[in-house]
Amino acid sequence: MACNSGTCQSGCYRDDSSVGAEESPPLTKKTEVSNEVVNSRRSTEHLDDGICLKCKVNRTIAAAAAAEGGGDFGGGDGGRFCADCFRSNLFGKFRLAVTANAMISPSDNVLVAFSGGTCSRVALQFTHEMQSKAQKNYDASRDRALPVFGVGVAFIDEKAISAVSSDNLDRAVEEMKLIVSDLAPPVKQFHVVPTEAIYSLKAGDAKDRLNELINTVNDVTGKEDLLEHFRMLSLQKIAIENGYTKILLGTCTSRIACHVLEATVKGRGYSLAADIQYVDARWKIPVVLPLRDCPIHELNMLCSLDRFDALEI
């Protein structure tokens, strides 16, 4: 029988477990550093081989593009992840922002502001994917206690206050309708509302009143701020009249950074904290920003991978 005593000089045997414990060297700081070096070398080897760091199976976006003679995706996540892992990471940021900040509940009816650009296109796609997963869970459940949140899409027609060609705008609106209609069920209603609709007047009178108000502002910066306010008023009007409970914008990290600089220069720091929060409850219909943690270059890369063409208006 083993004595298991460290001071015993009798030469008796010890348990195998104790022998193994004594023979294994203690974990020192030097050992930890060497392990980190080994892991770093393995990661570098994967990068050199063009293998995704996450799944360690597929080629990175940059390696796949180089093999096919495609675009340059060598910088940033394009050189570290494959297309599937990159898409999963980006959608994970969106989903985490939604769930961690209680942006969308099962009983909500969400209005997605759609301009046809990169950010709003990704916001629409990710919102659709979340709704589709919620619908599948609802269909698979027995009690069906939790409803599936609704989604609508809105485009603000600024033809009356901008120099946009009517033909280009009409063509872009038709393409937006196709994009929305091509999304899988549940069906999403598409709203196209002119900016002058914020006035409760006839079309011609409302347009004249709107242009008269804009012409009273002389500086370019003031006009841009006024137009931005008109867009939000139009979205609020659509949401209120059609029973939406949340307005979802595709504002990304890069756009928020620009807004921080603009607001600081204009001396509007007092409202800056509320402008860039995940949920802006100052409006009658709360405004949510689920892409707040996503930079524009990642959204552009996703649109390029999934062939989401930005619409030119």
CB atoms within 10 A of CB 306: 12
By the 8 A CB rule, do 191 and 228 touch? no
Using a 10 angstrom Cβ sphere, with 0-12 exposed, 13-18 middle and 19 or more buried, the burial of residue 33 is exposed
Which strands, in side-by-side order, build the sheet including 246-248? 189-194, 150-157, 109-113, 246-248, 287-288, 279-280
Give the tokens for residue 121: 């296109």
The percent helix, strand, coil of the chain (3-state, each to 5) is: 55, 10, 35
- Res 38: pLDDT: 44
What is the β-pairing status of strands 109-113 and 287-288?
A: unpaired
Spell out the per-residue pLDDT of the chain, length 313, in tens.
Answer: 555 555 555 555 454 444 444 455 555 655 554 555 444 444 454 455 789 999 999 999 988 888 876 655 656 688 889 999 999 999 999 999 999 999 999 999 999 999 999 999 999 999 999 999 999 999 998 888 889 999 999 999 988 887 777 888 889 999 999 999 999 888 999 999 999 989 877 767 888 888 899 889 988 888 889 999 999 999 999 999 999 999 999 999 999 999 999 999 988 888 888 899 999 999 999 999 999 999 999 999 999 999 887 786 6
Backbone dihedral region for residue 50 (phi beyond 0: left; psi -120 to 50: alpha; all else: beta):
left
Q: Which domains are seen in the chain, by residue range?
A: 49-81 (no CATH), 82-306 (3.40.50.620)
Q: Which long-range contacts (CB under 8 A, 24 or more apart) does 198-206 make?
A: 198/230, 198/233, 198/234, 198/237
User: How wide is the angle at C-alpha 278 spanned by C-alphas 100 and 182, nearest 5°?
Assistant: 85
Q: Give the C-alpha separation, 188 to 182, whole Å.
A: 10
Give the tokens for residue 162: 């901008």
Residue with tokens 């985490």: 96
Dihedral (Cα; 157, 160, 166, 172), 10-degree rounding: -10
